[in-house]
Chain A
Amino acid sequence: MSELALDLSDVAKTYPGRVRALRGIEMRVGRGEVFGLLGPNGAGKSTLVKILMTVIRPSRCSGTVLGRPVGDKHALSRVGYLPEHHEFPSYLTGRQMLDFFAALSGVPKATRRRRIGEMLELVGMEKWAEKKVGGYSKGMRQRLGIAQALMADPELVLLDEPTDGVDPSGRRDIRDIVARLRDDGKTVFLNSHLLSELEMVCDRVAIMVQGEIHSQGTLDELTLGQRVYEVQCLPEAEGVLRQAAEGLDDEWELEGGVLTVRTEVADVVQPLIDALRGAGQPVLRVQSKRPSLEDLFLQAVTDPETGRAKSPGAADNSDSGRGK
């Protein structure tokens, strides 16, 4: 059995009009991971997920889903999926809807009967099981959608904007569900632009911008080389701190009594603390900082030349040599 739940290389999609939604995605997601895909609207996140779910046909694609080629329908029986803008049949009750989609996944009747109760309880929708889906609120539909994705007890769960339209307590519930899935050894692929949500639950993330993966890895890997230490002193002690910092090999800056050193090693700031103490000056604060996911995201979507956000969406037909 492959150790990777998703192993994708060179996934490209060009829509009619030479709109290049994906430009050769390389991505690996290990089994049992919670993986987050983030990016601005129109970056190609949903297109990628839809390709994995056979909803969209790729222009180019090689890789596997749960060890089977992308597009293999058999693999889909082990995958659960919650689409972004789903619309479930309004004439079915919650129970009937879960039964219907589980049956489409090939789940036997006895198992469906058992799983429906479990899943409704998991998403807190037991009381609404016999009501028509047409009468549900958006948050309730989202919860039911998650239950639908989990009905076949999948090994891989793809959730496209799962917290969309869900209130804060609902979001916490969804995070708990994701954590529970991870504890059960499931692989969860989260597609979201809510960075805080992803930061809280994901083991690894990928940032997608304009149809390409800008960066991917654990938060530690992505922030490697971007950690800073801050040492704060009284304004009158700035001279002591500046003098001590002169001997550092790492990049630093001093402003308003706060010395910021860009380093991964805590030992680097020890001489600074020693110098302040030696001069009889108090050390007001020593803090290690690394960029948040939001910082990384903004870095990724900002054009380094203009300092402005890159144009939204993946549409770009300037390079027509690929993706045919």
Chain B
Amino acid sequence: MLVQTWALILAAYRELNAKKLFWITMGINLLVVLLYAALGINDEGVTLLHWQFSDEFFNAENVPPDLFYRFQFVSWGIPFWLSWIATILALVSTAGIVPDLVKGGVIETMLSKPISRTRLFLTRYSTGLIFVLLQVGVFSVGCFLVMGIRGGAWEPRLFLAIPIVLVFFSYLYAICALFGMLTRSTITSLLLTILVWFMLFLTNAADGLIIQQREGVAVQVERLEEQEANRAQVLTMTEQNLENTEPDSPMHGQMVRNVENRRLGLEDTRERLEARRASLEMWKKWTSAVGYARTVLPKTSETIGLLERYLMSREELGRLMADRTGIEINDDDDIPAMADPEAVRRAELAMRDRSVAWIVGTSLLFEVFVLGIATLLFMRRDF
């Protein structure tokens, strides 16, 4: 059994080795690492090779080099390179593995060997992940060295990129394998996979926006509750003052008007509070509905986001983001709920607080389901 598995892995490596795209991607990988190494931080700001970019905040006095490199990795290494560009290149490189397997002329010889269809298909699927393993492995080692040499911190958590990216890619690759089985076409399966990926991205974005909206409304409710309490207190005090004031006092008329105005203000606040509470209930329902829908779908963005979670603490990220963007809590409740910085912060925390088991576990269940269908098709098909 091991002989067969090793033969399939070795053949897959040789296949990748023979592909120009594999080496092109590897070259781009190394270029990205070199770009990463070219970045630096000193007392005046950020450097790129010999160029100096002065920055009041991003300088060695405020941000230690190790934090700077981790932040750069989290800011563009993960969201741009690993999440998108490298993944698209990996999909392009591996999308043909299943269609090539089921192509006439190849599959007959494979199936005539004493290896079960299930094992053949799943091993072949797994060999597709070798591409990502090698690419991310090289990228992680490169970044680890840059962070150690340039940043002065040897950060083993960086190697978490390997399993996390591998798991993240495996969701998409399972979809690609299913489309490969259904269409037997590399280009069609690739395009359909990218389409599904884009839809998953949209559901994730929608989820984020809805949570942000919910948190924004929740912030407004809290502020209105506070406002209501304050106004109620002021009204009570004003009413007490009015009771203590002689009716024929020159101040009495003014105080009656004050009480009336504050009562109206309180009623207005209560009306707005009720409206916001109703709105909050509605957004909570939407959040639940989208949350349930997303439970059965792979969480691509959140899976890759785990890397950020492990590499930077909430406090570190919050400080860097807040200091750099100058975000301040604004008490003005007329701004759109989701644009409220406090809402943005809370939404980020809410997303970040989702458990790894939910993110990865449910996504892997989806992958098993999709892969199960693909395997079943492979098992039952005549070639």
Contacts and interface: CB of A to CB of B under 8 A. Distances in A.
Interface of A: 15, 50, 53-57, 73-77, 79, 81, 83, 85-89, 91-92, 96, 99-101, 103-109, 148
B350 interface: no
A74 B114 contact: yes
Given A87-B103, A104-B8, 11 more contacts: A57-B380, A73-B116, A76-B112, A77-B113, A85-B104, A86-B106, A92-B14, A104-B114, A106-B4, A107-B3, A108-B3
Interface string B123-142: 00000000000000000000
Contact of A91 (B14, B110, B382): B14
Contacts of A56: 382-383
Contact of B112 (A57, A81, A96, A108): A81
Given A50-B383, A56-B382, A56-B383, A79 B3 contact: no
Contacts of B14: 89, 91-92, 96
Contact of A104 (B4, B104, B106): B4
Interface in B13-61: 14-15, 17-18
* 8 nearest A-B pairs in the assembled complex, by CB-CB distance: A87-B105, A103-B7, A91-B18, A83-B108, A104-B113, A81-B112, A53-B112, A77-B114
B380 A104 contact: no
Contacts of B15: 89, 91
A85 B107 CA distance: 11
A148 B111 contact: no
B368 interface: no
B285 to A, nearest CB: 46
B113 A86 contact: no
Contacts of B7: 99-100, 103-104
A55 B18 CA distance: 28
B10 interface: yes
Given A86-B108, A100-B7, A103-B4, A55 B114 contact: no
23 contacts: A50-B108, A53-B111, A56-B382, A76-B113, A76-B114, A77-B113, A77-B114, A83-B105, A83-B112, A85-B104, A86-B109, A87-B103, A87-B104, A89-B106, A91-B18, A99-B7, A103-B4, A104-B4, A104-B8, A104-B114, A105-B114, A106-B3, A106-B4
B198 interface: no
Contacts of A104: 4, 7-8, 110, 113-115
A79 B104 contact: no
Nearest to B108: A83
Interface of B is mostly: helix
Nearest to A58: B382
A99 B7 CA distance: 8
B11 interface: yes
Given A92-B14, A109-B3, A54 B111 contact: yes
Q: Of A88, A96, A100, which is in contact with the most chain B CB atoms at under 10 Å from its CB?
A: A100
A85 B112 contact: no
Given A92-B11, A104-B115, A83 B18 contact: no
Nearest to A132: B18
A211 B189 CA distance: 36
Nearest to B106: A87
Contacts of A92: 11, 14
B3 A100 contact: no
Interface in B91-109: 103-109
Contacts of A75: 114
A85 B383 contact: no
Contacts of A86: 105-106, 108-109
A89 B14 CA distance: 10
A125 B380 CA distance: 37
B6 interface: yes
Contacts of B105: 83, 85-87
Nearest to A92: B14
A16 to B, nearest CB: 9
Contacts of B114: 73-77, 104-106
Nearest to A56: B382
B109 A83 contact: yes
B10 A100 contact: yes
A109 B382 CA distance: 31
B50 to A, nearest CB: 43
